[in-house]
Structures are given as C-alpha cells and as structure tokens.
Amino acid sequence: MSIILGIESSCDETAAAVVTSDRQILSHKLAGQETEHAPFGGVVPEIAARAHAEILTPLIQAALDEAELGLNDVDAIAATAGPGLIGGVMVGLVTGKALAMASGKPLVAVNHLEGHALSPRLVNPELGYPYLLLLVSGGHCQILRVEGVNQYRRLATTIDDAAGEAFDKTAKILGLGYPGGPKVEALAKKGDASAVPLPRPLKGSKEPHFSFAGLKSAVLRAHESGKFADVDIAASFQQATVDCLKDRLDKALLETKPVKHLVVAGGVAANGAIRAMLEQVAADNDMAFTAPPLWLCTDNAAMIAWAGVERFAAGLTDGLDVTAKPRWPLDPGATKARGAGVKA
C-alpha cells in the first residue's frame, strides 16, 4: 500500500490531502478564497497566489496531523503542476518540491485535469479503464476517452467558453455574485425552464465540440430586455446548457468505440440537472454511470493525491526541475477544434 500527500493550488482553493492506494482518504483540508475575490466578481490571480502562499504550509501540516502521519510516513508528494493560474500553481509546486527535497521522497507533478479525470476511481473501485468522461469545470469543457493513467483521447472541447464559465457569467449578469454555479442552480429550481427562448449553440453539428459564448450573450440580452424574471432566465439557461451537453455527448457516443462506463468530473458535475441528464444518457446507452460526491467534484487535493497514487504506481515520478505549466492539455495530440480560441 502507498500513502500519498496531495497539494492543490491552481485556482482559488488551497488544499492538502493524504490518500492511500487502497482508497482511504486519511485527511483532506480545503481553504477557499471566496471573501478575497468576491468584491471583484471573479478570481484575481495575484490575490489568489498570495493567499495560497499564506495558507498552504499550515494546511499541509493540518492534513498530516489529521492523518496522524509525519512527512516521513508518506511514499510520495503529489502537487498540481498545471494547468491553472500560474502564480498559484508555482506556490503549490515549489512547496511540493521543497517537501520532496527535505524528505527525500519522490515528487509527482500532477495535471489538475487528470486529478478531476481520475477522481471517480477514488470512490468507485469498480470503475475500470476505459471510460467516457465529461469533464466540465470553470476552465474546461471536454469529452475524453480515458484509456489509462496518462492516456487520454480528447473527442471534443469547447471552441469558446467552458460550461462553468457560462454559469459564472450568467450569475454575474443576474447579480448573484461569485462563484456562480451553485447560485444559478438554486435560482433555476424556482423558475420555468421554457420561459425564455435561448439558443443551443452547435446543437446537431458534425463534430461533438461545445460552444457557450452565444448562450451567455443571449442571457445578457434576455436580462437587458426586462421582459423575463431572473428565476426564469436561470432555469432556461440551465436547461439550454443541459440540452447542449446532451446533444454533444450523444454525438461523441456515436463516434467512439463503446465503453461500459460514463463518468462526469469537474466543478459543474455538482449540478443536479446535469447529473440527472447524464444518468439518463448512460441508461439509454446501457452504460453504468459514476459521478463523484459533490465535495470531490469541485477543486480539492484528494483528487490530486489519488492521481499521485495512480502515477506513483505506474512509476511516473518527476525530477525537481519539473516546471509549472499554465496550459497543459491531457491529449497533446488532439487536433485543434475548428473555431477554437485560446482555450484547449
């Protein structure tokens, strides 16, 4: 059995966790930065990096204390090395390197997206490779065929905004504050999903890619028209997002070799309406469905520690010269989506 310390600092959550290869979560600690970023309506990279630098080391100590372990008891140190806000990533990775150097333990540089992608395996021992993954977060919206640790085939990506970004922008338009996803979902429960006519960008298009920028603009126009209640805008927006995700996923399923398992991961996987749709898609295609518990969907260090477990078991450790990467696609060989902007 191996014991891995995980460190996460790529966006606005500082986190540390201790996880074992037999799926015990010995501790997981999380410090959010909502109050620091709230006045700005989004994450401010410089504020995030400073906050990570202040809180990370005591948080790692707290995670080790709760696990009743010292640094010498862990087998490796896994730290997020990208993609993300580079200042924050550097804080976590450099801390991981320093701990690895001081303890003589190996370092595992983890791709944050691989953390999300493998997190369902931490809670579901039945989930074997390969599986089809919908990865939906604040920065990413992708469909991946997960073939093994470090082995991904990207079937689709967004050509503009990520799904979480669309939730956050809708929240901003409706004056709900940051982070927007949970607030839009709560408001949507009270509204009529068919009240506001909104587009379903790329629905029916040939490749299974996503687009959400036009949906966000339509939400803005609907709000500015003054004709619709906020609850109805929230419900209609969420329904449009669900419809787009379903259409694109159905397309991807037609195009890839059958797999037994459909899996969702990333912060937007916390959304109940999206989970319900995915459960139905899985049932319609004779697939099992796995969604991690809500706390494991949004950013955390247990998923980084678990990716560390899997990489360590596969012999994938890193030297102390490994660098932090603001961009780091899971499938570097994937062809660029037509019309794609800067996001991969």
Name the residues that contact ligand KG4, by CB under 6 A.
11, 137-139, 164, 167-168, 179-182, 185, 266-268, 270-271, 298-299
List the beta bridge partners of residue 27.
18
Rg of the chain over CA atoms, in angstroms? 20
CB of 140 vs ligand KG4, minimal distance in Å: 7
Choice between 106 and 115, CB closer to ligand KG4? 115
The residue type of 209 is: H
Sheet holding 141-148, edge to edge: 151-156, 141-148, 131-136, 261-265, 288-290
The item of Zn ion, ligand KG4, none sharing an interface with residue 298, based on CB under 5 to 8 Å by kind, is ligand KG4
Choice between 185 and 299, CB closer to Zn ion? 299
List the beta bridge partners of residue 210.
158
CA distance 242 to 220: 19
For residue 9, state whether it binds Zn ion (rule: CB under 5 A).
no
- The number of residues that bind Zn ion (CB under 5 A) is 2
Considering only residues 274 through 313, tell me which ones interact with Zn ion, judged by CB under 5 A. Answer: 299
The item of Zn ion, ligand KG4, none sharing an interface with residue 239, based on CB under 5 to 8 Å by kind, is none
* Residue found by looking up tokens 């999903």 in the block: 193
Q: Locate 38 and state its tokens.
A: 């709230």
Choice between 97 and 169, CB closer to ligand KG4? 169
CB of 286 vs Zn ion, minimal distance in Å: 30
Choice between 299 and 318, CB closer to Zn ion? 299
Burial call 320-342: b when 16+ CB within 10 Å, e when fewer? eebebbeebbbbeebeebeeeee
Q: Name the pairing type of β-strands 3-8 and 13-20.
A: antiparallel
The residue type of 304 is: I
Choice between 14 and 137, CB closer to Zn ion? 137
The item of Zn ion, ligand KG4, none sharing an interface with residue 268, based on CB under 5 to 8 Å by kind, is ligand KG4
Choice between 119 and 317, CB closer to ligand KG4? 119
CB of 121 vs ligand KG4, minimal distance in Å: 17
Considering only residues 128 through 147, tell me which ones interact with Zn ion, judged by CB under 5 A. Answer: 137
CA distance 7 to 5: 7
| Start-to-end Cα distance in the chain | 36
The item of Zn ion, ligand KG4, none sharing an interface with residue 236, based on CB under 5 to 8 Å by kind, is none
Choice between 271 and 317, CB closer to ligand KG4? 271
The item of ligand KG4, Zn ion, none sharing an interface with residue 180, based on CB under 5 to 8 Å by kind, is ligand KG4
CA distance 104 to 43: 35
Grouping H, G, I as helix, E, B as strand and the rest as coil, residue 105 is: coil
Interface positions with Zn ion (CB under 5 A): 137, 299
